[in-house]
Amino acid sequence: MATQSTEPSATVVWSDRFLEYTWTPEHPMKPARLDLTMALAGELGLLAGVETVRPEPAGMPDLLRVHTPEYIDAVRHAVPDSGSPGNRPSAPLFGLGSDDNPVFPGMHDAASVIVGGTLAAAREIAEGRTRRAVSIGGGMHHAMANSAAGFCIYNDAAVAISWLLDHGFDRIAYVDVDVHHGDGVQRAFYGDPRVMTVSIHQHPATLWPSTGWPDEVGAGPAEGTALNLALLPGTRDAAWLRGFHAVVPGALAAFRPQILISQCGVDTHREDPLADLELTVDGQTAAFLAMRELADRYADGRWLAVGGGGYGLVRVVPRAWTQLLATALDRPLPPETPLPEAWRERARVVAPRVEPPTVIGEGGDTRYQPWDGPGGAVETGDAQIDRARRAVDTAVLATRRAAFGLLGLDPEDPRD
- Please report the pLDDT score of residue 84 as a whole number: 52
Whether 4 shows a pLDDT value over 50: the answer reads no
Whether 149 shows a pLDDT value over 50: the answer reads yes
Got the DSSP string for 60-99? Answer: HHHHTTTS-HHHHHHHHH----TTSGGG--SS-BTTBTSS
Whether 267 shows a pLDDT value over 80: the answer reads yes
Whether 39 shows a pLDDT value over 80: the answer reads yes
Compute the average pLDDT of residues 298-312.
Answer: 98
Residue 383's pLDDT band, with cuts at 50, 70 and 90, is: confident
Determine if the peptide bond prior to 209 is cis (ω within 30°): yes
Whether 239 shows a pLDDT value over 90: the answer reads yes
- Report the mean per-residue pLDDT for the chain: 95
pTM tops 0.85: yes
User: Per DSSP, which regions of 203-271 are E strands?
Assistant: 226-231, 259-263
Question: What are the tens digits of pLDDT across the range 174-198?
Answer: 999 999 999 999 999 999 999 999 9
Question: What are the tens digits of pLDDT across the range 7-22?
Answer: 668 999 999 999 999 9
Contact in structure between 149 and 101 (CB atoms under 8 Å): yes
Alpha helices in 225-270 (DSSP H): 237-255
Residue 315's pLDDT band, with cuts at 50, 70 and 90, is: very high
167 noted as active-site residue: no
Q: How far apart are CA 368 and CA 242, in angstroms?
A: 6
Q: How far apart are CA 130 and CA 304, in angstroms?
A: 10
Q: How far apart are CA 116 and CA 266, in angstroms?
A: 22
Whether 88 shows a pLDDT value over 60: the answer reads no
CB crowding 346-381: b at 16 or more within 10 Å, else e: bbeebbeeeebbeebbbebebebeebebbeebeeee
Whether 350 shows a pLDDT value over 50: the answer reads yes
Of 67, 108, 141, 142, which is the active-site residue? 142
Q: What phi and psi, each to the nearest 5 degrees, are found at residue 231?
A: -110, 145
Question: What are the tens digits of pLDDT across the range 124-138?
Answer: 999 999 999 999 999
Contact in structure between 62 and 163 (CB atoms under 8 Å): yes
Alpha helices in 267-382 (DSSP H): 281-298, 317-329, 341-350
CA distances 236 to 240, 250, 282, 319, 384, Å, are 6, 22, 11, 18, 11
Question: What are the tens digits of pLDDT across the range 213-223?
Answer: 999 999 999 99
Residue 393's pLDDT band, with cuts at 50, 70 and 90, is: very high
Residue 6's pLDDT band, with cuts at 50, 70 and 90, is: low
H/E element, 109: helix 107-126
Nearest CA to 81 among 93, 73, 69? 93
Whether 272 shows a pLDDT value over 80: the answer reads yes
Whether 5 shows a pLDDT value over 50: the answer reads no
